[in-house]
Amino acid sequence: MLRTRIILVLAAALVVWLIFLLPKAVVENENQLKEDASAQPVSAAGHSEVPATLSANIKSVRAQFIKSATSQKNAIFADSLRTLYTQSGQFDSAAWFAEQAATFFNTTESFLKTGNSFYEAYTFSMEPAKQEQLAEKAREWLGKVLAADPKNLEVKTKMAMTYLSSKSPMQGITIMREVLAEDPKNEFALYNMGMLSIQSGQYDRAVERLEELKAVNPDHTQGLLLLGVAYMKKGNKDKARLQFERVKKLDKDPAVLATVDSYLKDLE
């Protein structure tokens, strides 16, 4: 179920190609950091290498992190590595270093960075056991943000999404509904509810949510793409085609156009 959801998330975000391009080397534990600091990140077969400049920056900062004798400098290096690993698409590593920094800084901002990093790692993970581990970590740190800022609905929505691979998926749906009850025009929540409705085969409900999103933001390309998918699943080819054509007008990214064209071809 989660695999299908993740694939749909990526398609809707128009970054499906990242699955094939992102390097997958990650930091699994602290011992790994003690290995030769000059080692280059290893990418999985079929994945592109980290760009040379970015790889060199990671290598340099990681060496400083390992050698640092003070907690403050160590935390600063860890925060820098979080940024660099995020840029390289190595989200597990980004989350690990974010946690090191947040443990020292102990600020809401650092909690948010860590929670978001674990959420990204969770979203891209394809291993059920690891998904749940990352989801728990995301909830832990995002929960700290909500404790300080209960009105942060984006964080609340992300927490809701992490429950979908757990034994209590309805808890996530309940939280999402709470967000929409407080803010009926919340784009992030409407989008995710529409996506989940498609995933569960509730296409009428998906259309309802995504049309609401379209009314709030007519140029929400991800939402329009999902709306097109929902109409296509319902068998309404004309309305599906309208959404896909709108996406093509709004976004000229080659990956976006290729995705939309593949759907349009299915409508022929």
Does the pLDDT at position 177 exceed 50? Answer: yes
CA pair distance 95, 250, nearest whole angstrom: 33
Q: Which tens digit of pLDDT belongs to each residue from 90-99?
A: 999 999 999 9
* pLDDT tens digits for range 47-84: 346 889 999 999 999 999 998 878 999 999 999 999 99
Instruction: Give the HSE-up count for residue 4: Cα atoms under 13 Å, Cβ half-sphere.
Output: 9
Using a 10 angstrom Cβ sphere, with 0-12 exposed, 13-18 middle and 19 or more buried, the burial of residue 34 is exposed
Burial of 69 (0-12, 13-18, 19+ CB in 10 A): exposed
The pLDDT value recorded for residue 19 is 27
**What b/e sequence results for 198-209 when a residue is b if at least 16 CB atoms lie within 10 Å of its CB, and e otherwise?**
bbeebbebbbbb
pLDDT of amino acid 222: 94
Query: What local confidence, expressed as pLDDT, does residue 189 receive?
Result: 94
Give the Å distances, CA to CA, from 239 to 138, 225, 232, 245: 37, 12, 8, 10
Is the model's pTM score more than 0.85?
Answer: no
Position 7 scores a pLDDT of 39
pLDDT at residue 95, as a whole number: 96
Q: pLDDT tens for residues 205-247?
A: 999 999 999 999 999 999 999 999 999 999 999 999 999 999 9
Mean pLDDT of 13-18: 34
C-alpha span between 192 and 204 (Å, rounded): 15
Domains (range + CATH), the chain: 1-12+53-183 (1.25.40.10), 203-268 (1.25.40.10)
Count helices and strands in the chain by DSSP H and E runs: 15, 0
Q: For position 213, what pLDDT does the model report?
A: 97
pLDDT at site 61: 94
Q: Whole-angstrom Cα distance, residue 226 to residue 8?
A: 9
